[in-house]
Amino acid sequence: MKIIRAKDYQDLSRKAANIISAQVIMKPDCVLGLATGSSPIGTYQQLVDWYNKGDVDFSGVKSVNLDEYRGLPKSDPQSYDYFMHEHFFDHVNIKPENINLPNGEAPDPDAECARYDKVIESLGGVDLQLLGCGRNGHIGFNEPGDCFAKGTHCVDLAESTIEANKRFFDSIDDVPRQAFSMGIQTIMRARKILIIISGKDKAEAVAKGFFGPITPQVPASILQLHPDVVAVVDEEALSLCDKV
Ligand code: GLP
């Protein structure tokens, strides 16, 4: 794992956007695995900016998102589908038919998980997977547990995740209790992984995930086994790691 120290969130966002645009320039028809949450917003803004300047072209790119809340329609401003359009898709030239997310409204969760895994497989897997990280070390919505989930699955969100994500909703009762998430095996099969982590409240997740034992109790720790991971982490998030 290569850890790149960023000064702050803005620096982290530029560095991450540089790595993603390099991927798109090197392979214009690549498959990007994309993430939501507050961490990648600055990265998407930077990519939109470079797109507007003519520096990067998304016309051949295909995307698969990591996760989606179960039960929210795409039109709900809290859905990840809505988020992706608001922060990225609507501002660049990615083709609508090349955009893929789990369908939060699918009536049969098992069928939806199987469909999503097939979509990823039919695209030939992910070239570059962008990840954020939850305070408890979750990636996508792979919560701490007794084993690493393989493919796309329907997850019961951890109380701490519901608590952390309530800031986006009117009240904690509005936060969905379940989500669809790409599994750890699918994430680990991505040819390259870029994880971005910012802020003091993530310092423990960074220390345990990158320097602690590999355990499903800290899902991000599995990334230590991937051959090509770049972690762009700001100084606050690195504050409990004296080795970097
Ligand atoms: C959510 C998402 C994750 C994200 C995490 C951290 O639970 N499912 O993909 O990485 O939150 O979010 P943030 O970047 O807002 O801290």
pLDDT digits (tens, 9 = 90+) for 194-204: 999 999 999 99
CA atoms of 187 and 145, how far apart (whole Å): 17
Across the range 76-84, mean pLDDT stands at: 97
CA of 205 to the centre of ligand 1 (A): 12
For the chain, report the end-to-end CA distance as a whole number of angstroms.
Answer: 12
How confident is the model over 185-197, as a mean pLDDT? Answer: 97
Probe residue for ligand 1, chosen from 87, 138, 156, 168 as the CB with the greatest number of ligand atoms within 8 Å: 138
**Cα-to-centroid distance, 134 and ligand 1 (Å):** 5
Task: Decide if pLDDT at 242 tops 90.
Answer: no
- Going from the Cα of 6 to the center of ligand 1, the distance in angstroms, rounded, reads 19
Going from the Cα of 48 to the center of ligand 1, the distance in angstroms, rounded, reads: 21
Q: Mind listing the pLDDT tens digit for each residue in 166-181?
A: 998 999 999 999 999 9
CA 150 remoteness from chain centre: 16
Distance CA 166, CA 101 (A): 22
Q: What is the pLDDT of residues 109-149, one digit of tens each?
A: 999 999 999 999 999 999 999 999 999 999 999 999 999 98
Model pTM score: 0.96
Asked whether the predicted pLDDT for residue 98 surpasses 90, the reply is yes
pLDDT tens column, 83-95: 999 999 999 999 9
Q: Please tell me what DSSP assigns to residue 6.
A: E
Residue keyed to tokens 């802020």: 199
Q: What does the pLDDT average to over 29-37?
A: 98
* Cα pseudo-dihedral 205, 39, 182, 212, rounded to 10: -20
Whole-number pLDDT of residue 244: 72
Q: Tell me the C-alpha distance between 24 and 18, whole Å.
A: 10
Statement: residue 230 has pLDDT above 90: yes
| Interatomic CA distance for residues 154 and 228, integer angstroms | 27
Q: List ligand 1's pocket residues with C-beta within 6 A.
A: 35-39, 66-67, 132-134, 140-141, 161, 165
Question: Would you state the pLDDT for residue 149?
Answer: 83
**Which residue's CA is the closest to the ligand 1 atom numbered 5?**
134
Residue whose CA is at the smallest distance from ligand 1 atom 10: 132
Active site residues: 67, 136, 138, 143
